[in-house]
Structure 1
Amino acid sequence: MAREKKRRSNGRRSPLAAAALIGIGLLMTGGIYAGASAAIAATDDTSSSSSTLTVEDGKKLFQANCATCHGLNLQGSEAGPSLYGVGELSVQFQVSTGRMPLQAQAPQAPQKPVQFTPAQVDAIGAYVQSVAPGPSYPSDEVLDGEGDVANGAELFRINCAMCHNVAGAGGALTEGKYAPNLRTTSPLNMYAAMVTGPQNMPVFNDLNLTLEDKRDVISYLMFLQENDSPGGYALGSLGPVAEGLFIWIFGIGSLIALTVWITAKSN
Structure 2
Amino acid sequence: MRIGSPSTMAKNSPRTPTAKRKTGRRHPLAAVALIAIGLVSTGGAYALFTSSATADTTASQEQLIDEGGKLFAANCATCHGMSLQGTSEGPTLIGVGEAAVHFQVSTGRMPLAASGPQAEEKPVQFTDEQIQALYTYVGSKSPGPGLPSEETLAGDGDAALGAELFRINCAMCHNVAGAGGALTQGKFAPALTGVESIHVYEAMVTGPQNMPVFNNQNLTVEDKANIITYLQFLDDNPSVGGFDLGNLGPVSEGLFIWIFGLGSIVAITVWLTAKSN
The aligned runs of 1:1-267 (5 Å cut-off) are 54-267=64-277
Query: Matches of 2:122 and 2:273 in 1, distance apart?
Result: 54
Distance in 1 (CA, whole Å) between partners of 2:209 and 2:233 is 25
CA deviations on 1:59-100 (whole Å, 9 max, x unpaired) are: 111111001111111111111111111011000110111111
Instruction: Return structure 1 stretches of 4+ with deviation > 6 angstroms.
Output: none
**CA shift at 1:199, angstroms?**
0.9
1:216 partner letter: N
Contact 2:64 2:132 (8 Å CA) reproduced: no
Q: CA deviation at 1:249?
A: 1.2
Aligned-pair Cα RMSD in Å: 1.7
Residue 258 (structure 1) shift: 2.4
Distance 2:125 2:172 in 1: 32
CA distance in 2, matches of 1:117, 1:135: 22
| Cα distance in 2, alignment partners of residues 177 and 104 from structure 1 | 15
Q: Aligned letter for 2:183?
A: L
1:138-167 C-alpha deviation (Å, 9 max, x unpaired): 111110111111111111111111111111
Contact kept in structure 1, 2:155 and 2:228, CA below 8 Å? yes
Tell me the amino acid that sits aligned with residue 256 of structure 2: F
Q: Which moved more, 1:247-256 or 1:91-100?
A: 247-256
User: Matched residues in 1 for 2:150 and 2:129: separation?
Assistant: 18
Q: Deviations over 1:224-250 (max 9, x none)?
A: 122211122211111112102102211
Normalised to the residue count of structure 2, the TM-score between the two structures is: 0.75
TM-score, with structure 1 as normaliser: 0.77
Instruction: Say which one has the larger Rg.
Output: 2
Q: Secondary structure at the match of 1:129?
A: helix
Shift of 1:108: 0.9
Structure 1 runs not aligned, ≥5 long: 1-50
Q: Which sections of structure 2, spanning at least 5 residues, go unmatched?
A: 1-59
Please give the secondary structure, in 2, of the residue aligned with 1:54.
helix
Q: State the alpha-carbon separation in 1 of the partners of residues 117 and 250 from structure 2.
A: 28
> How far off its partner does 1:121 sit?
0.9
Separation in 2, partners of 1:67, 1:90: 16
Deviation at 1:254, TM superposition (A): 1.5
